[in-house]
A = this chain, B = another copy of it.
Amino acid sequence: MKKSALQIARATYQPKLPKALKGPMALQEGAPTQSVADQAEIQKLFPNTYGMPVLSFVASNETKTFPAINAGVILSGGQAPGGHNVIAGLFDGLKKMNKDSKLYGFLLGPGGLVDHKYIELTADIIDEYRNTGGFDIIGSGRTKLETKEQFDKGLQILNQLNIKALVIIGGDDSNTNACVLAEYYKAINAGIQVIGCPKTIDGDLKNEMIETSFGFDTACKVYSEVIGNIQRDCNSAKKYWHFIKLMGRSASHIALECALQTQPNIAIISEEVEAKQMTLDDVVNYIAGIVAARAAEGNNFGTVLIPEGLIEFIPAMKKLIAELNDFLAHNAEAFAQVEKAEQINYIAKNLSAENAAVYTSLPEGVARQLSLDRDPHGNVQVSLIETEKLLGEMVGRRLAEMKKAGQYNGKFSTQYHFFGYEGRCAAPSNFDADYCYSLGYTAAMLIGEGKTGYMSSVRNTTQPAEEWIAGGVPVTMMMNMERRHGEMKPVIQKALVKLDGTPFKTLAAAREQWAKETCYMYPGPIQYFGPSEVCDQTTVTLQLEQNGK
């Protein structure tokens, strides 16, 4: 692998660890815990891993000795910056406890455990990947570990390799499954510990005990860099409205964080759209109103941030999509006979009046996408909808109407962007490099202490790394019961944007000014070597959340 100058320079970075992890340490146990809701059901489902205490490591004078242990690690789901550092921290932690410990990596996600595909992660391999982005050290995948067959199949290879502990690095679903696996292995006395690590750029895996998921910091900084650059261009050329869609399937944390970093003219937050029961027209009118107000001041340019998941948060669109899924599932054959030019009419005729009205209000391309591009289960592929173009086109139409009515007299030219893959595998920021390394190192220590069903947790993260608090949080503590595919399941509560939280309230307080004036901020690219205030600050979201406490 030919390395860039930055990769070579960055390879020597030694991630910072919390003070307590630097020398001999002791484990402090808190009081027994409860799940956030549905305590009785969760306890029943997790008799062996429910109610465990929160754990914290503290510095100690007593040096412990640990036996050698073999551990395994899995990367689950979408990439997030810092995954390699979690593995490096885990490796270093295991070796620190006992130099004869070994680490195996299962290949291409949880599927590697089930299919017995793995490599031993030696020091040479680990060193190649320190402080780099990507999950390519062992690859990732989306296989869900859910069935007894998978668990038993995995156990075979774990036993064969004499692996006593498994670390699963993933989002809310993967950590839920990690806990189910921990519970199962404990129930059958398999002698395998399972520890989770909180990963996702989406930022929706967080709660009282998990301050942030790793990767969110770096990904938001990459998106904010390019949004800032676009805004500088926008403010120089003064002739385009840039509609910028940002990854983050359900929650709008990324759009919110990027808005706080870059101060665009408009930022749509899905959770607010849902709470206010806004229609698609409401969103379009909101944007068109701001475009017109800026045009009245001679400013025919601006920026709009749009969260990827918006469509599904608009109640009327949600209803339309549900009816479409249902209708097309039951009328697939008849629909296949309809001529292309007639398809939209055909569907509109067969929908309820309310949904037909929404459907026919959509630009043709989007209406087609909704009725044609379906996943193997027959469902609309919402992620394929180019929401940024949908909104841009509808705003354009609305402005044309307003022009006729004498309410608007500007020019409206658009540019469209979608950022997602640009940030998921960036080399981790100093924050993510340190945070991930600490999470991995903590996971090793939890393994050393014989724990299972825990998520590695590093808290107090708005303080310098020295003062971070490392420990473990029982996964069951974060669970509640939710309906998934028609069944009630125990799951980690997804953290959506809180409309009464400081980050959103900060946006809400500033956005009228940002809409009217041009208050763009230009964060620039992630810096690894400069002054601390440039290199080491974490997200605005995390700072506002923690300082607001």
Interface of A toward B, CB cutoff 8 Å: 1-7, 9-10, 78-79, 108, 132-136, 139-140, 222, 225-226, 228-230, 232-238, 242, 261, 263, 340-341, 415, 417, 421-427, 519, 521-531, 533-534, 537
Q: Contact partner of A525 among B263, B525, B534, CB < 8 A?
A: B525
Task: Give the interface centre of A9, A236, A524 by most chain B CB atoms within 10 Å.
Answer: A236
Report 24 cross-chain contacts, Cβ distance below 8 Å, ordered by A residue: A3-B522, A5-B537, A6-B523, A6-B527, A7-B522, A9-B534, A10-B524, A133-B229, A133-B232, A133-B522, A134-B233, A136-B235, A139-B237, A140-B237, A229-B423, A230-B422, A242-B421, A341-B341, A415-B421, A417-B421, A427-B522, A525-B527, A529-B529, A530-B530
The residue on B at minimum CB distance from A416 is: B418
Q: Are B2 and A521 in contact (CB under 8 A)?
A: yes
A2 touches B236 (CB 8 A): no
Q: Which residues of B contact A415 (CB under 8 A)?
A: 421
| Alpha-carbon distance A235/B417, docked complex (angstroms) | 23
> Of B6, B230, B341, B533, which is within 8 A of A524 by CB?
B6
Q: How far is the CA of A187 from the CA of B140 in the complex (A)?
A: 70
Complex CA distance for A229 and B530, rounded to whole angstroms? 22
Q: Is the CB of A424 within 8 A of B233?
A: yes
Contact assessment for B229 and A226 in the assembled complex, using a CB-CB cutoff below 8 Å: no
A392 to B425, CA, bound (A): 23
Residues of B within 8 A of A238 (CB): 108, 139
Q: Are B524 and A425 in contact (CB-based, < 8 A)?
A: no
In the complex, the answer to whether A9 meets B426 with C-beta atoms within 8 Å is no
Residues of B contacting A340 in the complex (Cβ-Cβ under 8 angstroms): 341
Residues of B within 8 A of A527 (CB): 6, 525, 527-529
CB of B139 within 8 A of CB of A236, answer: yes
Given contacts A238-B108, A534-B9, A232 and B136 within 8 Å (CB-CB): yes
Q: In the assembled complex, which residues on chain B have CB atoms less than 8 Å from the CB atom of A132? A: 232, 522
CA gap between A222 and B421 in the complex, in Å: 15
Extra inter-chain contacts (6) besides given A9-B530, A222-B525, A229-B423, CB under 8 Å: A79-B236, A108-B238, A134-B236, A135-B236, A230-B421, A232-B425
Q: Which residues of B contact A228 (CB under 8 A)?
A: 4
Cβ contact within 8 Å between A528 and B530: yes
Contact B533 A9 (CB under 8 A): yes
Return A74 CB to nearest CB of chain B, in Å: 14
A340 to B364, CA, bound (A): 13
| Residues on B with beta carbons closer than 8 Å to the beta carbon of A133 | 229, 232, 522
Residues of B within 8 A of A236 (CB): 79, 134-136, 139-140, 425
Contact at A4–B523, with CB atoms within 8 Å?
yes
